[in-house]
Structure formats: C-alpha cells, structure tokens
Amino acid sequence: MKTNLDALLTALCVHLDDHVLPSGRKPGKRGPARLLTDAELVCVAIAQVLLRCDSERHWMRAAPDRIGHLFPRLPGQSEYNRHLRDAAPA
C-alpha cells in the first residue's frame, strides 16, 4: 500500500502543480515563506484523509513517519491549519 500511496501522491502533486492550482505566492502576502506549496499542501491533506487521521494534532505527529520521505519539510500544526484555511478558496 505504501508504494501505491507514494505513486498517487506524487502524480497528484504534479498534476495539481502543473494544471490546477496557481503557482507562486500571492502579491501582498507578508510573513515567512511557506514550507509547502499549495499543491503539496493538498497532497498532505489528502494523505491525512486516506490514512484516516481525523485529528490534525495526531496527523502532524504521524506524518513524518508516514509521508516524510515525500515531503521532508512538513509544517507544524498551526502553520498547517493556517495554510489550509488560506488555500480553501483555491
């Protein structure tokens, strides 16, 4: 299952980055640069759902072991939650 999940997340990230989501930071955004692009964030959120982790706190503790080899720069829980809220309109 792990290789199938890896392949799915990789293909999804490439498709989202190339065809679906706008790339780059929006002008006027302040603060430090995000650790994940919007496409990577969507893939991490989809992995959370597919691996049945309901709690974001639990997911952010488990994510490095489960998908850390695909996304080596995972954000903390608060940044993950804030980035998900900001990316919701996209």
Cβ neighbors of 38 (< 8 A, separation 6 or more) are 16, 21, 22, 87, 90
User: pLDDT tens digit string along 16-28?
Assistant: 988 888 765 555 5
Distance CA 63, CA 65 (A): 5
- Mean pLDDT for the stretch of residues 2-29: 81
Q: pLDDT above 90 covers what percent of the chain?
A: 58
- Mean pLDDT for the stretch of residues 6-20: 92
Other Cβ atoms within 10 Å of 60 Cβ, number: 20
Residue 48 has pLDDT above 70, yes or no: yes
- Mean pLDDT for the stretch of residues 38-54: 93
